[in-house]
Amino acid sequence: MKGVCQHCSKRHLHRYLSEFDFQYSARTALGIDDQERTERILPWHSQKEIDLPALVTSHQRVKDATMTSPINFSISGHNAETDAPTVDDLVNQVGDYVSIMRAVEEALADDGASEIEWRVTNAKKNSPLELEITPFPRRHGVNIEQRVHKVKEHTAAGLALLTAKAERPSFFNDSVLEKVERLFRRVTNGLSLTKVDYGPDIQRTVEITPSIARTAVSHISTVRVPKEKPYRELGSVEGFLKGIDRDGFGRAIIYVKLRLNGEIVKCLVSEIAESEVERHQIGDVWKNLRVRVAGTIYYKSLGRISKIDADVVQFLRHRDELPSSSDIINKNFTGGLASAEYLEKLRNGELS
């Protein structure tokens, strides 16, 4: 398995072993050709004809399971002769909105990766112009319905919050706020309306008019340039390991993508914690591992982290290694511990 599978969780190890056992036991060197291998994989192949309509129906079920409801945009331009938007305004407005959703998705995801691909699936030359974009899975057969629902929900809630008050929405880092500001500014200069309908699964519609856009831009400016002074405190954060380096003094540095807002924070690792980082750097594929960093947290303003002096770096379990529903059904799975005590020990990696 070395060199092929970069991460094999205990939960699925038997499946990996079965695959490699079959590959070795059905290799060409033993006189087994492609036809015999196929018959071993599909033992019913020689007994039953393949029903093409059934296969098409099955494929459609997989396709339906991996698609979810589209998002509809209504965009109007601001011109004395027509309400049609310019090409630049239309492309940039939709492009920024998709970039916002992608950033929110990455901040929400356990591995910080994007699994959703947005495609234009319909366009109507009404007044205003309407575009339909539909989410598709980047990998065939992956069900993205729940992920898409969360992305829609948090994106819509974040935009609504910025139109109501000067408060940073969850999962909206500075890069996202920059795109959101551009989205609103276009409706004060070139566009007269941007309306987003999220479909029946999200009971919310975002409608941006020039007056709403001006208010939102003012709120974003307040959020991006807060009045609070820098401060520091002891604490901890969780996120995903994105890089390991050393500074000019030879001290270990790790870069962590914060779980809450997706921002990448520089962490200076103490000598005590450095051995733990080196152990994982050598023994594991370290990128995107879940980590908890504890120590002195330096803030540039309220809730905005600039760097961390890390006294403790703890590598957390991958989600595949956490208990499944079948484990939880077992009344003795906590080993006699109270639920709160068990969860705390599990989170801290104290349980084998």
Q: Could you tell me the fold of the domain covering 231-324? A: OB fold (Dihydrolipoamide Acetyltransferase, E2P) (2.40.50)
**Distance of alpha carbon 215 from alpha carbon 26, whole angstroms:** 67
pLDDT of residue 159: 95
pLDDT of residue 177: 94
Calculate the dihedral angle through the C-alpha atoms of 39, 45, 51, 55, rounding to the nearest 10 degrees: -40
Q: Report CA-CA distances (Å) from 320 to 12, 317, 323.
A: 8, 8, 8
3-state secondary structure (DSSP) of residue 30: helix
pLDDT of residue 53: 65
Domain residue limits, the chain: 10-48, 66-224, 231-324
**What number is the average pLDDT over the span 186-192?**
91
Pick 221 or 61 by higher pLDDT: 221
Residue bearing tokens 């974009």 = 133
pLDDT of residue 194: 93
Residue 153 scores a pLDDT above 90: yes
- Asked if residues 129 and 76 have their Cβ atoms less than 8 Å apart, the reply is yes
pLDDT of residue 319: 62
pLDDT of residue 35: 82
pLDDT of residue 347: 76
Pick 267 or 288 by higher pLDDT: 267
pLDDT tier for residue 140 given thresholds of 50, 70 and 90:
confident
pLDDT tier for residue 44 given thresholds of 50, 70 and 90:
very low
Cβ contacts of 329 within 8 Å, gap of 6 or more: none
pLDDT of residue 308: 95
pLDDT of residue 266: 94
Residue bearing tokens 């706020």 = 177
pLDDT of residue 253: 92
Percent of the chain with pLDDT over 70: 82
pLDDT of residue 12: 75
- Asked if residues 136 and 147 have their Cβ atoms less than 8 Å apart, the reply is no
The tokens for 133 are 């974009």
pLDDT of residue 326: 60
pLDDT of residue 65: 46
pLDDT tens-digit readout, 60-106: 554 554 456 899 999 999 877 888 899 999 999 999 999 999 999 99
3-state secondary structure (DSSP) of residue 246: strand
pLDDT tens-digit readout, 281-339: 654 556 678 889 999 999 988 778 999 999 999 888 766 666 665 655 566 667 778 87
3-state secondary structure (DSSP) of residue 245: strand
**What number is the average pLDDT over the span 250-261?**
88
**What number is the average pLDDT over the span 17-31?**
83
Complete DSSP assignment for 269-324: EPHHHHHHHHHHHHHS--TT-EEEEEEEEEEEETTEEEEEEEEEEEEPPPGGGS--
**Distance of alpha carbon 223 from alpha carbon 159, whole angstroms:** 13
Complete DSSP assignment for 117-182: EEEEEEEE--SSEEEEEEEEESSTT---HHHHHHHHHHHHHHHHHHHHSS-PPTT--HHHHHHHHH
Pick 192 or 228 by higher pLDDT: 192
Based on C-alpha coordinates, what's the Rg of the chain? 26
Residue bearing tokens 């205003």 = 128
The tokens for 62 are 């997989």
Mean pLDDT of the chain: 83
- Asked if residues 182 and 96 have their Cβ atoms less than 8 Å apart, the reply is yes
Q: Which of 242, 296, 85, 93 is nearest to 180 (CA)?
A: 93
Pick 286 or 186 by higher pLDDT: 186
Q: Which of 146, 144, 73, 147 is nearest to 104 (CA)?
A: 147
Percent of the chain with pLDDT over 90: 39
Q: Which element (helix H / strand E) includes 195? A: strand 191-197
Q: What is this structure's pTM?
A: 0.55
